[in-house]
């Protein structure tokens, strides 16, 4: 009886007018069900995979869920692969794609439709290649390449600015390129640079995507303004930039970065002194000596961290661990501090055949 009832419901679904079917039914499917439906239905494949459906689902907050996409190079596999972390099962699921990516040096910029993979190294040489990994149907499309082979990108509104990473860094006229998402064009950008930064070590977008706060390999701090097309430095320097990586901007105009030994550090953009986030001592003791390999914004009130571990025993299974941490800013003994609380932690991937991994990208999206 249950099977016959389901069959009648499916038949009724197919008999609905297209406009009602598309808007009232497709927008209520989960993200993974929508992808599966697009693959199974020839009649509605293009509609189910269309960006307008994702846009309508995003407006109905009850229809979207938080998914994490991960791009990992797992050795001895010669190519990096895309994975998806299911919000309920909390395990990485591999996305089957037949596409060859650069294995190092790529920049990753994302919007509500997908992830742009910009530049990188192919056979040890920089490339100008640009691709888009599309969330709507889990496909990869090549885009117009950059004018120069390079890496190092940040995003501002509807344009992508790429700084440095090219062979001829002395030529300031080629140092910055800008990609217009709407016209699919790359153009060199004339930028006011009193002092040309060396290789950018870290960068973070601040002030509602209006500025880029960056540090070069010598620790010198720069600020880029998209509205003024200026890249300036006030002479300040960042100490130990190599041990303070993966910068994020979140939680009330605060910059976060990952330190060593499983520590998360924070400071305001106008300050130089970093302070440690409290409340993570139990996690650091449980995984003694671990180092965070990726830190990301999980939601407005939470951050997430990933790290690599190996189980004890003859097989030494490699595991990728994941933790969600809520952040609260407040005063402790009259001093402003940030306190973290572990909301969930556990392994999301394990494999005895993997000899090592390089986590290239990880980010969460409401889809």
Give the residue numbers spanning the domain of 289.
65-95+245-367
Reduced to 3 states (helix: H, G, I; strand: E, B; else coil), residue 200 is: strand
Helices 51-59 and 31-40 cross at an angle (nearest 10°) of 150
Total residue count of the chain as it appears in this document: 367
- Same domain as 326, residue 287: yes
Q: Which of 18-22, 117-121, 166-170, 332-336 has the lowest mean pLDDT?
A: 18-22
Quick one: tokens of 129?
């290649």
150, 126 in Cβ contact below 8 A? yes
Query: Does residue 260 share a domain with residue 363?
Result: yes
For 48, the token pair is 């189910």
In terms of domains, do 233 and 280 share one? no
Window from 128-142, 163-177, 270-284, 330-344 with minimum mean pLDDT: 163-177
Q: Are residues 103 and 144 in the same domain?
A: yes
DSSP 92: E
pLDDT class of 216 with cuts at 50, 70, 90: confident
Q: Are 291 and 321 part of one and the same domain?
A: yes
SS3 12: helix
Same domain? 101 vs 239: yes
- Containing 29, the helix (H) or strand (E) segment is none
142 plus 89 within the same structural domain: no
Confidence of residue 57 (pLDDT cuts 50, 70, 90): low
Contact 132, 140 (CB under 8 A): yes
- Chosen domain end from 192, 210, 243: 243
> Per-residue pLDDT averaged across 63-73, rounded?
85
Within this chain, do residues 43 and 75 fall inside the same structural domain, yes or no? no
Tell me how many domains the chain contains.
3
Tens-place pLDDT, residues 288-299:
889 999 999 887
Same domain, yes or no: 155 and 200: yes
Given this model, what pLDDT does residue 130 score?
A: 93
pLDDT of residue 133: 93
Asked if residue 161 lies in contact with residue 176, where contact means CB atoms within 8 angstroms, the answer is yes
Q: Are residues 111 and 238 in the same domain?
A: yes
Mean pLDDT of 92-99: 89
In this prediction, residue 2 carries a pLDDT of 36
Rounded distance between C-alpha atoms, residue 243 and residue 56, angstroms: 42
The reported pLDDT for the residue numbered 92 is 94
Q: Dig out the tokens for 136 from the structure.
A: 């709507």
pLDDT for residue 1: 29
Q: Among the three residues 216, 243, 270, which one is the final residue of a domain in this structure?
A: 243
Whether residue 103 is found in the same domain as residue 188: yes
pLDDT per residue as tens digits for the range 219-234:
888 888 777 777 778 7
Instruction: Convert the pLDDT of each residue in 237-290 to its tens digit.
Output: 888 777 888 888 875 688 999 998 999 999 988 888 999 999 999 999 999 889
pLDDT-above-90 percentage for the chain: 31
| Residues 19 and 147 both lie in one domain | no
Question: CATH number for the domain including 204?
Answer: 2.120.10.80
């Amino acid at each position: 009886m249950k099977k016959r009832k389901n069959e009648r419901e499916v038949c009724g679904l197919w008999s609905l007018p297209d406009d009602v079917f598309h808007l009232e039914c497709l927008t209520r499917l989960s993200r993974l069900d929508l992808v599966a439906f697009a693959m199974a239905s020839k009649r509605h494949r293009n509609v189910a995979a269309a960006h307008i459906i994702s846009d309508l689902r995003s407006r109905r907050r009850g229809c979207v869920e938080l998914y994490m996409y991960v791009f990992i190079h797992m050795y001895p596999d010669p190519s990096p692969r895309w994975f998806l972390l299911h919000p309920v099962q909390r395990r990485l699921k591999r996305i089957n794609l037949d596409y060859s990516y650069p294995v190092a040096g790529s920049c990753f910029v994302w919007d509500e439709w997908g992830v742009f993979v910009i530049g990188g190294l192919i056979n040890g040489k920089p490339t100008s290649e640009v691709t888009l990994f599309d969330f709507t149907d889990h496909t990869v499309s090549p885009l117009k390449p950059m004018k120069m082979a390079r890496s190092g990108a940040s995003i501002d509104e509807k344009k992508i600015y790429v700084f440095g990473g090219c062979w001829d860094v002395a030529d300031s006229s080629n140092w910055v390129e800008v990609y217009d998402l709407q016209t699919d064009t790359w153009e060199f950008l004339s930028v006011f640079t009193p002092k040309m930064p060396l290789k950018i070590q870290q960068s973070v977008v601040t002030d509602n995507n209006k500025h880029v706060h960056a540090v070069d390999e010598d620790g010198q701090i720069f600020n880029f303004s998209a509205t003024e097309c200026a890249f300036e430095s006030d002479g300040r320097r960042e100490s130990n930039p190599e041990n303070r990586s993966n910068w994020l901007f979140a939680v009330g105009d605060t910059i976060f970065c990952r330190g060593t030994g499983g520590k998360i550090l924070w400071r305001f953009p106008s300050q130089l002194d970093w302070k440690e986030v409290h409340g993570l001592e139990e996690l650091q003791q449980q995984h003694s000596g671990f180092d965070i390999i990726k830190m990301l914004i999980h939601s407005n009130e939470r951050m997430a961290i990933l790290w690599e571990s190996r189980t004890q025993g003859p097989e030494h299974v490699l595991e990728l661990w994941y933790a969600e941490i809520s952040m609260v800013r407040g005063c402790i003994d009259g001093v402003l501090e940030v306190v973290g609380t572990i909301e969930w932690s556990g392994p999301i991937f394990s494999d005895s055949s993997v000899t090592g991994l390089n986590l290239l990208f990880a980010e969460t999206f409401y889809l």
